Amino acid sequence: MPDDSAADAAAAPTAFHDLGAFAALPRISSLTLSPAGDRLIASVAELAADGTRYITALWEVDPAGERPARRLTRSAKGESAPAFRPDGTLLFLSARPDTDPAKDEPAEEEAALWALPAGGGEAFRVLGRPGGVESVVTARQSDRTALTASLLPGAESAEADAELRKARKDAKVSAILHEEGEVRFWDHDLGPGLPHAFTLPEASAEAAPVDCGPVDRSEAQPALSPDGALLACTVQLTEDPDLHRSAVAVVDAATGKRLRLISAPDAEYLAPAFAADSRTLVCMRGTMSSFEESFDLTLWSLNATDEQDQGRDLLPDLDLWPGQGVPSPAGGAVFFAADERGHSPAFRLDTADGTVTRLTATGSYTHLSVSPDGGTLYALRAAVDAPPTPVRFDSSTADQQPVELPSPAPVGALPGSLTEVTTTAEDGTALRSWLVLPHTASAQEPAPLLLWVHGGPQGSWNAWTWRWNPWVAAAAGYAVLLPDPAMSTGYGQEMHRRGWQDWGGNPYRDVMALTDAALVRPDLDADRTAMMGGSFGGYMANWIATSTGRFKAIVTHASLWNLHAFAGTTDSPQYWRRGFGDPLKTTERYERSSPHLRAAEISTPMLVIHGDRDYRVPIGEALGLWTDLVRFGVPAKFLYYPDEGHWILKPNNAKLWYATVLAFLAHHVLGEEWRRPDLL
């Protein structure tokens, strides 16, 4: 007999069946462990009462997993960036108003540093800076605190900086004078302030900050040694526009004197972390990409202050890209996560003999934290079918299943299931992808298929995503194929090489091969297919539109269209030129790979989506594509966001993103009448 209870469960509505309920789901963004190992703090974003924005609050998670999570902070401005002092005081950033402001002190507009006492009580404001505080870090064994905040050019003190800012505001001046190459980053203008690192002997309003110099605008958070004596931060070297690269500066935390610059002409250094001895530094080290080769990543260890020590590769035999290293407080090991075949497991590196142990076999791990004795790890674990959730696991057992801790942000049931699709590429490379199946899919009622190509291009479908959530599509009855084609991370350096020199070559063929392999399944409808992609995935959407008419509809978001124009307008032109070549001198890749040169070949209906504040893939790409679609009479629509960037982040804008995409697909894939979403 059929299992009616299972059928009822499959048909039950979930949060993914209603865009309002989906937008209201809470979202965990970080996890922080106290130095004593007895407290875990999660940053959780929740929808504001008016539904127009997310507010982040701090929640405490029980490391033992016995008590439910409890909320610690609440304000209209929200709280972020939790960091513990050795005495258990919890520091955080917030633009909330001061409960006891000084006379004539203006209302808080920028984030300031706040503290929540270890023994309980009300949080109090510690200090603010002109322009706000951008990040805060603490030392494990010292009261020294470090923060980042910006200084305007010519300002040598907070007082001078405040006067300059007031003068600009009073004069209603918004102009910025740039003297270096970078002027924008992702979704915001750079300047006029330049971020600096500052240290304080303790987190106190009376403490005089020590200026430790400028830091990288894109990775501003520094690192403090456990004893508080040294500060390490990422900086940018810009002497050659085409060799623009990251380096690590080591500074005396008490005086601000630079002790060492860790750099190399053929490599980048970033994400520094101090080992337990307070003198060994572990950094991510990347080779510089070139026209011939993609960059490669490893973890690098060296003496923080000895300029003669050029360091050593900690992972010479690992053909994966590690994330930031997390040294054990007890010494002897460094932990990291690395993409691997549709997952991003946690790994242990024993520094004595170089042994690497994969601690978890499945899932994607971030915010690794190590207990004081080095025996236990805490992290956020996510997967394509699981949102970030706090977990605990031991620091030495291979391929273990972590213990889930009570989460402050559950999502409930999913409207489908997850499986894999594999095949072999034309050149013999093994290929794989995730396939999200709606509960309604069957051989009797095969589901329409949506092909989604990830961005990057050096990325992977291996974790939960709120911005491109396949479960919303599954709730609408679609199956979603999530392929990892050439240049995807987690498959070794050769996978990058396969696509590095020809974006429209192996990456395109891999995507098509995995689509063909999926459509062999009887529960998928090969006659009702669509394709979607954002960023590089948007490039692939445009390339597919110019290469085949097999799909009923294509959605292209934040996509590259005219590679010649893109080379000079993206916020990271030096990185682009290294891989694609100088568009004035080395033109073959532009001519071979730019979709705009094949605009007349498009016949598939297209939905173009772009934000005007997208500086990684500027709005000109969408305008050029839209103009060509109109010019050649392609059935198309353009969903334009004047106030969004590379990602659509505002709740109601995101709801309209999903609503418009689903309406467009329903019209062209399912044959339904076009219904214009409300509010558009």
| H/E segment holding residue 198 | strand 194-200
Minimum mean pLDDT among 189-203, 295-309, 476-490: which range? 189-203
Q: What is the pLDDT of residues 89-146, one digit of tens each?
A: 999 999 999 876 654 454 557 999 999 999 888 999 999 999 999 999 999 999 999 9
Report whether 475 contacts 463 (CB < 8 A): no
Res 104: pLDDT: 47
What is the DSSP track for 407-468?
PS------SEEEEEEEEE-TTS-EEEEEEEEETT--SSSPEEEEEEE-SSSS--S-S--STT
Examine the pLDDT at 670 and tell me if it is beyond 60: yes
Strand ranges, E, within 253-385: 258-262, 267-274, 280-287, 297-303, 312-313, 326-327, 333-337, 346-350, 356-358, 364-370, 376-383
Question: What single DSSP character describes residue 344?
Answer: B
- What pLDDT, on the 0 to 100 scale, is given for residue 8? 58
Q: Which residues contact 100 (CB under 8 A, 6 or more apart)?
A: 124
What's the mean pLDDT in 161-176? 95
Q: What is the pLDDT of residues 529-562, one digit of tens each?
A: 999 999 999 999 999 999 999 999 999 999 999 9
Which residue type is seen at 414? L
The whole-number pLDDT of residue 218 equals 76
Per-residue pLDDT averaged across 271-278, rounded?
97
Query: 201 versus 670: which is more confidently predicted?
Result: 670
Q: What is the DSSP string of 10-44?
A: HHS--GGGSHHHHHTS-EEEEEEE-TTS--EEEEE
Least confident segment among 180-194, 223-237, 412-426: 180-194
Query: Which residue matches tokens 């932990």?
Result: 335
Confidence tier at 204 by pLDDT (50, 70, 90): low
Give the start-to-end residue ranges of the domains of the chain: 420-668
- Per the CB < 8 A criterion, the answer to whether 79 and 94 are in contact is yes
**Which range (201-210, 253-262, 387-396, 402-411) has the least confidence?**
201-210
C-beta separation of 30 from 367 below 8 A: yes
For residues 380 and 387, give the distance between their C-alpha atoms in angstroms, rounded to a whole number. Answer: 9
Q: How far apart (Å, rounded) are the C-alpha atoms in residues 372 and 34?
A: 9
Are 199 and 81 within 8 A, CB to CB? no
Query: For residue 2, is pLDDT > 50?
Result: no
Cis peptide before 192 (omega within 30 of 0): yes
- pLDDT at res. 580: 93
Residues 378 and 63 sit within 8 Å (Cβ to Cβ): yes
**163-172, 175-184, 494-503: segment of lowest average pLDDT:** 175-184
* Whole-angstrom distance, CA of residue 327 vs CA of residue 307: 22
Q: Does the pLDDT value for residue 269 go beyond 60?
A: yes
Burial, 88: exposed, middle or buried (Cβ in 10 Å; 0-12, 13-18, 19+)?
middle
Confidence of residue 400 (pLDDT cuts 50, 70, 90): very high
What fold characterizes domain 420-668?
Rossmann fold (3.40.50)
Residue with token string 């960023």: 535
What does the pLDDT average to over 62-83?
A: 96
- Return mean pLDDT, the chain: 94
Pairwise CA distance, residues 137 & 67, whole Å = 28
- d(C-alpha 604, C-alpha 627), whole Å: 15
Residue 10 pLDDT > 70: no
Cis-peptide, bond into residue 446, ω within 30° of zero: no
DSSP alpha helix (H) spans, 242-361: none
List all residues 6 or more positions away from 43 whose beta carbon is below 8 Å from its beta carbon. Answer: 28, 29, 30, 56, 57, 58, 59, 79, 80, 81, 82
pLDDT of residue 238: 81
SS3 of 245, please?
strand
Q: For 641-660, what is each residue's pLDDT tens digit?
A: 999 999 999 999 999 999 99
Yes or no: say if 395 and 376 are a contact pair by the CB < 8 Å rule: yes
**Mean pLDDT, residues 370-380 taken together:** 98
| Region 578-596 average pLDDT | 93
